[in-house]
Structure 1
Amino acid sequence: MGHAGRLDVTTVMSPDTKQRRGRAVKRGRKQVGLAFIAPFGLLFMFVYIVPIVYAGYLSLFQQKLIGGNTFTGLANYTKLFQDAQFWDGVGRVFWFTLVQVPIMLILAMALALALDSRRLHGTKFMRVSIFLPYAVPGVVSTLMWGFMLGVKYGLFGSLNNALGTDLNPFTPSTTLISIGMMVTWAFTGFNMLIFYAVLKAVPRELYEAAALDGASEFQVIRRIKLPALRRSLVIAIIFSIIGTFQIFNEPQILPSMVANSGITSDYTPNLYAYNLAFTGSQQGYAAALALVMAAITIAVAYAVQIRGLRNAFDH
Structure 2
Amino acid sequence: MDITLARQALKPPAVPPPIENPSAKIRRRTTWQGASFTVPYFLGFALFIVVPVIVGLSESLYTKKSSGLGFGGQTITFSGLDNFTRGMSDEAFWGGLLRVTLFSLIVIPVIQIIGLAAALLIDEVGRRAAGRFRVALLIPHMVPGIVAILIWIYLYSPVVGPLTPFFQLFGIDADFYSGGLIWVSIGNIMVWSGIGFNILVVYGALQNIPREIFDSARVDGASALRIAWSIKVPFVRTSLVLTSVLAIIGTLQIFSDPMLFRSMTPETVDRNFTPIMMIYDQAFAVGDLSYASALSIILAAVVGLASAIFYKLTNRTPT
Please, what TM-score do these two structures have when normalized by structure 1? 0.86
Is the CA contact 1:146–1:258 (under 8 Å) kept in the aligned structure 2? Answer: no
Q: Could you tell me how far apart the structure 1 residues matched to 2:43 and 2:14 are?
A: 41
Measured after TM superposition, the shift of residue 258 of structure 1 is 3.8
- For residue 34 of structure 1, report the CA deviation from its aligned partner: 6.4
Contact 2:168 2:174 in 1 (8 A): no
Q: Distance in 2 between matches of 1:172 and 1:144?
A: 20
Contact 1:56 1:288 in 2 (8 A): yes
Identity of matched residues, %? 31
Structure 1 residues 105, 36: CA separation in 2 closer, same or farther (over 3 Å shift)? closer
Q: Which residue of 2 aligns with 1:265?
A: 271
Aligned mates of 2:186, 2:278 — CA distance in 1: 17
Contact (CA 8 Å) 2:56, 2:293: kept in 1 or not? yes
User: Structure 1 residues 212 and 53 mapped into 2: Cα distance closer, same or farther (>3 Å)?
Assistant: same
In the TM superposition, what are the counterparts of 1:101-250 in structure 2 within 5 Å? 101-118=108-125, 122-159=129-166, 166-250=173-257
Corresponding residue number in structure 1 for 2:49: 48
Alpha-carbon distance between aligned partners in 2 of 1:215 and 1:222, rounded to the nearest angstrom: 11
CA contact (8 A) 1:276 1:282 kept: yes
Map 1:291-306 → 2, pairs under 5 A = 291-306=297-312
The answer to whether the 8 A contact 1:147-1:257 is kept is no
1:71 aligns with 2:75: no
Q: Which amino acid aligns with 1:175?
A: I
Query: What is the alpha-carbon distance in structure 2 between the residues aligned to residue 231 and residue 82 of structure 1?
Result: 37
Which residue is equivalent to 1:7?
none
Is 2:280 the partner of 1:280? Answer: no
Q: CA deviation at 1:37?
A: 4.0
Report the RMSD for the aligned CA atoms in angstroms: 2.8
Whichever residue aligns with residue 65 of structure 1, its letter is S
Tell me the CA shift for residue 210 of structure 1: 1.0
Q: 1:235 to 1:165 in 2, by over 3 A?
A: closer
Asked whether the equivalents of residues 109 and 192 of structure 1 are also in contact (C-alpha less than 8 Å), the reply is yes
Residue type at the aligned position of 1:115: I
TM-superposed CA distance for 1:167, in Å, is 1.8
Q: Which amino acid aligns with 1:14?
A: V
| Count of paired positions | 298
When structure 1 is superposed on structure 2, of 288-297 and 54-63 the one drifting more is: 54-63
SS in 1 for 2:80: coil
- Residues 147 and 42 from structure 1, CA distance in 2 versus in 1: closer, same or farther, beyond 3 angstroms? same
- Measured against aligned partners, the alpha-carbon deviations of 1:205-244 in whole angstroms (never above 9, x if no partner) come to 1111111111111111122111111111111110110110
Q: Equivalents in 2 of 1:34, 1:212: separation in Å?
A: 47
SS in 2 for 1:122: helix
Larger radius of gyration: 2
Partner of 1:98: 105
What is the CA–CA distance in structure 1 between the aligned matches of 2:227 and 2:32, rounded to whole Å?
Answer: 50
Residue 255 of structure 1, CA deviation = 1.8
Q: Please list every run of 5 or more consecutive structure 1 residues that lacks an aligned counterpart in the other structure.
A: 1-11
Give unpaired runs (5+ residues) of structure 2: 1-12, 68-73
**Contact between 1:266 and 1:272, CA under 8 Å: does it hold in 2?**
yes
TM-score (ref. length: structure 2): 0.85
